[in-house]
Chain A
Amino acid sequence: MGMDSTRLARTGDTEWLIAPVGAMRVPAVIFADKALIDDMDDKVLEQICNVATLPGIVGAAYVMPDAHWGYGFPIGGVAAFDADAGGIVSAGGVGFDVSCGVRLVRTGLPAAAIMARQAELARALFDAIPAGLGSEGSIRLDDDQMDAMLTGGAAWAVGNGWGDPAELAYVEEQGRMAGADPGAVSLHAKTRQRREMGTLGSGNHYLEVQKVAELDDPTVAAAYGLAIGDAVISIHCGSRGLGHQIGTEYLREMAIEAARFGIALPDRELACAPIQSALGQRYLGAMCAAVNCALANRQIIDHLTRRVFRALFPDARLSLLYDVSHNTCKIEEHEVDGIQRRLHVHRKGATRAFGPGHPTLPEAFRPVGQPVLIGGSMGTGSYVLAGGGAASEHAFASACHGAGRRMSRHQAQRRWRGRKVIDSLAAEGVVVRSTSMRGIAEEAPGAYKDVSAVVDAAHRAGLARKVARLLPLVCIKG
Chain B
Amino acid sequence: MRSRAGPRSKAAPAGSPVGSWEHFPHGADVGVRGRGPSEAVAFEQVALAMIAITTNPMAIRPTDCVRVTCTAPDDELLLADWLNAILYEMATHRMVFGRFNVAIDGRVLHAELWGEPFDRARHEVGTEVKGATLTALLVGQGRDGQWTAQCVVDV
Q: Which residues of A contact B (CB under 8 A)?
A: 41, 43, 68-72, 75, 92, 95-97, 132-134, 136, 188, 191-192, 195, 201-204, 241, 244-245, 247-249, 251-252, 255-256, 267-269, 271, 404-405, 408-411, 435-439, 442, 478
Contacts and interface: CB of A to CB of B under 8 A. Distances in A.
Contacts of B92: 191-192
A95 to B, nearest CB: 7
Contacts of B154: 71, 95-97, 244, 247
B39 interface: no
Nearest to B126: A438
A248 B135 contact: no
A411 B30 CA distance: 10
Chain B CB within 10 A, most for which of A43, A191, A202: A202
B148 interface: no
A438 B80 contact: no
Nearest to A41: B27
Given A71-B29, A195-B94, A409-B28, 16 more contacts: A70-B28, A71-B135, A97-B154, A133-B120, A203-B127, A204-B28, A245-B131, A248-B132, A251-B133, A252-B77, A405-B27, A408-B25, A408-B30, A437-B125, A439-B125, A478-B128
A248 B84 contact: yes
A255 B30 contact: no
Interface string B108-140: 000000000010100011111011111101000
Contacts of B94: 134, 136, 195
Q: How large is the interface on B (under 10, 10 to 19, 20 to 34, 35 or more residues)?
A: 35 or more
A252 B124 contact: no
B127 A442 contact: yes
B6 to A, nearest CB: 16
A409 B54 CA distance: 13
B57 to A, nearest CB: 14
Given A249-B1, A409-B155, A68 B28 contact: yes
B152 interface: yes
Given A134-B94, A245-B88, A252-B80, A69 B128 contact: no
B61 interface: no
B12 interface: no
Nearest to A68: B27
Contact of A411 (B25, B131, B132, B134): B25
B150 interface: no
B126 A436 contact: yes
Interface string B83-104: 0100110011010000000000
Contacts of A267: 134
Contacts of A132: 125, 128
A129 to B, nearest CB: 15
Nearest to A248: B131
Contacts of B55: 133
B120 A134 contact: yes
Going nearest first, the 6 A-B pairs with the smallest beta carbon separation are A71-B135, A408-B25, A69-B27, A71-B133, A244-B130, A436-B125
B35 to A, nearest CB: 17
B131 A438 contact: no
A97 B127 contact: no
Chain B CB within 10 A, most for which of A43, A95, A201, A410: A410
A92 B132 CA distance: 12
A192 B91 contact: yes
